[in-house]
Amino acid sequence: AKKWINIRKSYGNFYKVPRNQTKLTIMLENLGMSYDGRPHSGLDDSKNIARIAIRMLQDGCALRVNERIHGGQLMTVSSSGPLEGAPAPQMPRYRN
Protein backbone atom coordinates (compact mmCIF):
# COMPACT_ATOMS: atom_id res chain seq x y z
CA ALA A 1 0.00 0.00 0.00
CA LYS A 2 1.45 3.34 -1.03
CA LYS A 3 -1.61 5.45 -0.17
CA TRP A 4 -3.98 5.22 2.77
CA ILE A 5 -6.38 7.06 5.04
CA ASN A 6 -4.92 7.89 8.45
CA ILE A 7 -8.08 7.74 10.56
CA ARG A 8 -6.44 9.57 13.48
CA LYS A 9 -5.58 12.49 11.21
CA SER A 10 -9.03 12.47 9.55
CA TYR A 11 -10.77 12.29 12.93
CA GLY A 12 -8.76 15.19 14.34
CA ASN A 13 -9.39 17.37 11.28
CA PHE A 14 -13.08 16.50 11.00
CA TYR A 15 -14.03 16.91 14.65
CA LYS A 16 -11.51 19.73 15.20
CA VAL A 17 -9.76 18.06 18.14
CA PRO A 18 -6.05 18.16 19.07
CA ARG A 19 -3.74 15.24 18.32
CA ASN A 20 -3.77 14.10 21.96
CA GLN A 21 -7.50 13.38 21.50
CA THR A 22 -6.91 10.93 18.62
CA LYS A 23 -5.82 7.84 20.52
CA LEU A 24 -8.05 4.88 19.69
CA THR A 25 -9.69 4.54 23.10
CA ILE A 26 -10.26 8.30 23.40
CA MET A 27 -11.81 8.51 19.92
CA LEU A 28 -14.17 5.65 20.77
CA GLU A 29 -15.08 7.19 24.12
CA ASN A 30 -15.78 10.60 22.57
CA LEU A 31 -18.10 8.92 20.09
CA GLY A 32 -19.96 7.13 22.90
CA MET A 33 -18.49 3.73 22.08
CA SER A 34 -16.46 1.29 24.13
CA TYR A 35 -13.50 -0.74 22.94
CA ASP A 36 -14.57 -4.18 21.66
CA GLY A 37 -12.07 -7.01 22.07
CA ARG A 38 -8.55 -7.25 23.44
CA PRO A 39 -6.42 -4.08 23.48
CA HIS A 40 -3.50 -4.10 21.03
CA SER A 41 -4.91 -7.07 19.10
CA GLY A 42 -4.39 -6.19 15.44
CA LEU A 43 -7.76 -7.64 14.42
CA ASP A 44 -9.67 -6.02 17.29
CA ASP A 45 -7.93 -2.66 16.75
CA SER A 46 -8.88 -2.84 13.05
CA LYS A 47 -12.52 -3.57 13.86
CA ASN A 48 -12.66 -0.65 16.28
CA ILE A 49 -11.04 1.67 13.73
CA ALA A 50 -13.65 0.54 11.20
CA ARG A 51 -16.41 1.43 13.70
CA ILE A 52 -14.91 4.92 14.03
CA ALA A 53 -14.72 5.29 10.23
CA ILE A 54 -18.37 4.25 9.86
CA ARG A 55 -19.43 6.80 12.48
CA MET A 56 -17.40 9.52 10.76
CA LEU A 57 -19.12 8.72 7.45
CA GLN A 58 -22.52 8.84 9.20
CA ASP A 59 -21.56 12.26 10.61
CA GLY A 60 -20.84 13.53 7.08
CA CYS A 61 -17.07 13.09 6.80
CA ALA A 62 -15.75 12.46 3.29
CA LEU A 63 -12.84 10.13 4.03
CA ARG A 64 -9.99 10.68 1.57
CA VAL A 65 -6.45 9.41 1.18
CA ASN A 66 -4.35 11.67 3.39
CA GLU A 67 -0.96 9.94 3.53
CA ARG A 68 1.33 8.20 1.07
CA ILE A 69 4.84 6.88 0.64
CA HIS A 70 6.95 8.58 -2.04
CA GLY A 71 10.61 7.81 -2.48
CA GLY A 72 10.66 6.03 0.87
CA GLN A 73 9.32 9.13 2.66
CA LEU A 74 5.98 9.50 4.43
CA MET A 75 4.08 12.40 2.86
CA THR A 76 0.84 14.12 3.72
CA VAL A 77 -1.65 14.28 0.85
CA SER A 78 -3.51 17.56 0.81
CA SER A 79 -7.18 17.61 0.00
CA SER A 80 -8.16 19.37 -3.19
CA GLY A 81 -11.42 20.53 -1.65
CA PRO A 82 -12.14 22.67 1.38
CA LEU A 83 -11.76 21.10 4.81
CA GLU A 84 -15.03 19.76 6.03
CA GLY A 85 -15.77 19.61 9.70
CA ALA A 86 -18.30 18.89 12.33
CA PRO A 87 -18.53 19.81 15.97
CA ALA A 88 -16.49 17.65 18.31
CA PRO A 89 -18.42 14.51 19.25
CA GLN A 90 -20.34 14.68 22.49
CA MET A 91 -21.13 11.86 24.84
CA PRO A 92 -24.63 10.63 24.01
CA ARG A 93 -27.34 11.94 26.25
CA TYR A 94 -29.57 9.25 27.64
CA ARG A 95 -33.24 9.96 27.84
CA ASN A 96 -35.08 9.04 31.01
Interval 19-77: pLDDT, tens? 999 999 999 999 999 999 998 899 999 999 999 999 999 999 999 999 999 888 888 88
User: For position 13, which CATH number holds?
Assistant: 3.30.420.10
CA geometry: angle at 28 spanning 26 and 32, to 5°? 110
Asked if the structure places residue 65 within a domain, the reply is yes
- Position 50 scores a pLDDT of 97
Asked if the structure places residue 96 within a domain, the reply is no
Q: Is the pTM of this model over 0.75?
A: yes
Of 4 and 88, the one with more pLDDT = 4
pLDDT band, very low/low/confident/very high, at 79 (cuts 50, 70, 90): low
Asked if the structure places residue 41 within a domain, the reply is yes
The separation between CA 76 and the C-alpha centre of its own chain, rounded to angstroms, equals 15
- Position 40 scores a pLDDT of 87
Asked if the structure places residue 89 within a domain, the reply is no
Asked if the structure places residue 72 within a domain, the reply is yes
Give the domain range for residue 67. Answer: 3-76
Number of structural domains in the chain: 1
Amino acid at 90: Q
Asked if the structure places residue 87 within a domain, the reply is no
Asked if the structure places residue 95 within a domain, the reply is no
Question: How many Å apart are CA 2 and CA 5, to the nearest integer?
Answer: 11
